[in-house]
Structure 1
Amino acid sequence: MSFLTYLINGLSLGSIYAIIALGYTMVYGIAKMLNFAHGDFIMVGCYVIFTICSTLSGNTFVGIIAAIIICTLLGVTTERIAYRPLRGAASPLAVLITAIGVSYFLENLALLIFGADIKSFSSVVKWNGVTFGDGSLRIQGVTIVTIAVSIVILIALQLFIHKTKEGQAMLAVAEDRGAATLMGINVNKTITLTFAIGSALAAVAGALLCSAYPSLSPYTGAMPGIKAFVAAVLGGIGSIPGAMIGGLVLGIIEILSKTYISSQLSDAIVFGILVVVLLVKPTGILGKKIQEKV
């Protein structure tokens, strides 16, 4: 039963990576930029939940809703102030460097407000979980909720993209921004909506992350954000199902690496996978090769 337990834990961790990777892949697929501050949006959401739960006697529901709202506003504001003026920049490195700057800004702002001390984060999920058989297999409540939430989010995003007018606009902008503009689509509004959705997902991922790993610091979202980027690349950045698959695969590999190889080498294995994927199949599992027009 132990292997099955590790596999389920890997699916849980991978579901968190998948939710984060969905934000990465949506922004890249539509805005054609990598928002490396995305991991720090997770940290902001965690601190919002922590602060509200500390002041409102553990009202986690209010904390999660507030985190989603604040992270959404943060994502929209960041896109409007930091990224939109650089959208027509001659070099894409300008936007990438700005994203890294936003990341450091948020981390240092959190350091000034909350300090560097690691804070204990009470689990948002209060359900104890279920036990199977003679008790050798126990699935934590947060594990079940995390996997279920990731599936619901994937289905909801797929329906939103393919069944709504706004989702169709996103597909059009992702395919050809110039042609979408000629067809009357408001590109700026579409990209802003994409950032809003991605940032809201970061808040949800933050709540689940700190429920599974109850510690909080200004750097809480940094490493999960980078690993989620690896998951997005593994699945095929720009593909929503690919981000989900990449996250699940990466989570399982990380947990099994920690268990059967070495906890110190697990991160090296994760990033080694990124190198292998880029060498063997740069487009990822579900990514498509794009031919540039000249």
Structure 2
Amino acid sequence: MGMSNFLQQLANGISLGSLYALLAIGYTMVYGILRLINFAHGDIFMVGTYIAFYSMTSFLLPWWLSFLIAMILTCIFGIIVEKAAYKPLRNSPRISVMISAIGASFLIENLAIVLFGGRPKAFPIPDMFNKVVKIGNVSIVSVNFYIPIITGILLLILLYVVNNTKTGMAMRAVSKDYEAARLMGIDVNKIVSFTFGIGSVLAAMGGIMWGLKFPNLVPLMGLMPGLKCFIAAVVGGIGDIRGAVLGGFILGLGEIMIVAFLPSLTGYRDAFAFILLIVILLLKPAGLMGKNLTEKV
């Protein structure tokens, strides 16, 4: 492999890793607060992409306004999912909540097929995201530059909120023990809804950037990215935001580089994520940056 080809693949890997990282943060935030795997996260990602698509194509809104509307409406949608599917089961056994999460995922997917149709749609790409930038012999589509930058900005904002604001302090308190947090006067329901809202905004932004990078929309488009981002969160250490970012980049770079160096394994690209998950669970069950937690009975 020549140097220019390697740099080309590296740019693709960083771009894909940034997308996985952004979605994995949403998984890990919800798990950190509720010890709940939000299996509907990939479907919320899909809903955000469709909202942006219809805002641009049906309502002919500018791309930046469409993206903003998609994030706001997806935030509201994520909070509604939490109120309807998870809040009534907050004191139920974990298995009940997990079944509810899987049910919510199937419901959203099938509603999307009914509302949006099963036929693939082409996501409209604004010119600024579709320019080809040449660096020496390497040609990189401009969206591959924007994705890591946007991910980095959103990550910094999120870390600031979690570490330096009263809401962030309340989120950390709820993640330790929400019964104790409630006794301290923290509105647990409000904090949980806020967490789901933030996770949904990140999912919407991830979905929009996914549409810009892979402009093919189908109602089941969130299924595989959702699974992979769950794996990225587990690999990095589920419950740790920086771990989710690390897991996302490992997964994205690993997928791209395996195909680049071993083209004969292209058909097994998706299998890499699951093999990585098995290896990490065998060697370091808490993830690369995770801490071993004792489960409450």
Shorter-chain TM band = over 0.9
TM-score, L = length of structure 1: 0.96
Aligned to 1:122: 124
Aligned to 1:79: 82
Runs of 4 or more consecutive aligned structure 1 residues displaced over 4 Å after TM superposition: none
Percent same amino acid among aligned pairs?
43
CA deviation digits over 1:10-53, x for unaligned, max 9? 11001001110000000000011010000001110111111111
Distance 1:110 1:293 in 2: 37
CA deviation digits over 1:254-274, x for unaligned, max 9? 111222232211111111000
CA deviation digits over 1:49-77, x for unaligned, max 9? 11111123362112111111111111111
SS in 1 for 2:232: helix
TM-score, L = length of structure 2: 0.95
Look up the equivalent residue of 1:92 and give its one-letter code.
R
CA deviation digits over 1:208-256, x for unaligned, max 9? 0010001000011111011000000011100011111110110000111
Structural mapping, 1:80-99, within 5 Å: 80-89=83-92, 91-99=93-101
Distance 2:291 2:44 in 1: 28
* Alignment length (residue pairs): 291
Equivalent of 2:18 in 15, 19, 24: 15
Aligned to 2:109: 107
Distance 1:196 1:138 in 2: 37
Aligned to 2:215: 214
- Measured after TM superposition, the shift of residue 115 of structure 1 is 1.1
Aligned to 2:233: 232
Aligned to 2:9: 6
CA deviation digits over 1:112-146, x for unaligned, max 9? 1121111111225624152112xx11222111100
SS in 2 for 1:130: strand
The answer to whether residue 51 in structure 2 is matched with residue 48 in structure 1 is: yes
Give the 3 Å change call, closer, same or farther, for CA 258–38 of structure 1 in structure 2. same
Distance 1:54 1:124 in 2: 12
Distance 2:170 2:14 in 1: 32
Aligned to 1:147: 148
The answer to whether residue 130 in structure 2 is matched with residue 131 in structure 1 is: no
Aligned to 1:278: 281
Look up the equivalent residue of 2:222 and give its one-letter code.
G
What 5-or-longer segments of structure 2 have no aligned partner? none
Look up the equivalent residue of 1:242 and give its one-letter code.
G
Give the 3 Å change call, closer, same or farther, for CA 229–125 of structure 1 in structure 2. farther
SS in 1 for 2:266: coil
Aligned to 1:31: 34
Distance 2:135 2:169 in 1: 44
- Measured after TM superposition, the shift of residue 293 of structure 1 is 6.3
Give the 3 Å change call, closer, same or farther, for CA 287–125 of structure 1 in structure 2. farther
Distance 1:187 1:153 in 2: 24
Worse-superposed segment, 170-179 or 211-220: 170-179
Aligned to 2:249: 248
1:142/1:211 contact within 8 Å kept: yes
Give the 3 Å change call, closer, same or farther, for CA 164–125 of structure 1 in structure 2. farther
Give the 3 Å change call, closer, same or farther, for CA 139–58 of structure 1 in structure 2. farther
1:124/1:208 contact within 8 Å kept: no
Aligned to 1:59: 62
1:28/1:237 contact within 8 Å kept: yes
Distance 1:213 1:130 in 2: 18
What 5-or-longer segments of structure 1 have no aligned partner? none
Structural mapping, 1:153-172, within 5 Å: 153-172=154-173
Distance 1:44 1:173 in 2: 28
SS in 2 for 1:184: coil
1:125/1:142 contact within 8 Å kept: no
